[in-house]
Amino acid sequence: PQINPLHDRIFSKMPDSLDESINERAIREVLIAVWPWGQSNADVLLHGDYWLGNILMRDGRLLAIIDWEDAKVGNPLYDLGNARLEMLWSFGETAMHQFTKTYLAHMPALDTTRLPYWDLCTTLRPAGRLDDWAESPEQAQHWRQGIQWFVRQAVAAIKA
95-129 pLDDT, tens digit per residue, is 999 999 999 999 999 999 999 999 999 999 999 99
46-93 pLDDT, tens digit per residue, is 998 888 899 999 998 989 999 999 888 989 999 999 999 999 999 999
pTM of this structure: 0.89
Domain range annotation of the chain:
6-42+76-159
Residue 5 pLDDT exceeds 50:
no
Residues β-bridged to residue 61:
58
CA distance 75 to 79: 8
Give 59-66 contacts, CB < 8 A, sequence gap 24+.
none
CA distance 143 to 160: 26
130-144 pLDDT, tens digit per residue, is 999 999 999 999 999
Using CB atoms within 10 Å of the CB of residue 119, give its burial: 0 to 12 exposed, 13 to 18 middle, 19+ buried: buried
